[in-house]
Amino acid sequence: MKKIFWIATAVFSGIYIFIPEPTDLIPILGWLDEATAFTIFMYALKQLGVNIPSFFKKKENKTSDKIITID
């Protein structure tokens, strides 16, 4: 039942992001509802197990752990 809830939440918030409204013409204040819908959309995807990579996350370098010695 929870999975159906999160699927419906993701669908409705995803659709809401693309519906234009008259308040969208007001900068910043008109965009807050879309920002909230996007946050809910991303959280719903997380609850469904969809892995969205973070572009702001520091990438780990796996080769830095190896020490190369020349004899």
pLDDT at 41: 94
Per domain, the residue ranges of the chain are 1-71
Give the pLDDT confidence of 11-35 residue by residue, as tens digits: 999 999 998 888 888 888 888 999 9
pLDDT over 60 at 64, yes or no? no
**pTM for the full predicted model:** 0.69
Report the distance separating Cα 20 and Cα 37, nearest Å. Answer: 13
Q: Which one is predicted more confidently, 44 or 64? A: 44
Phi, psi of 4 (to 5 degrees): -65, -40
User: pLDDT band at residue 59, thresholds of 50, 70 and 90?
Assistant: low
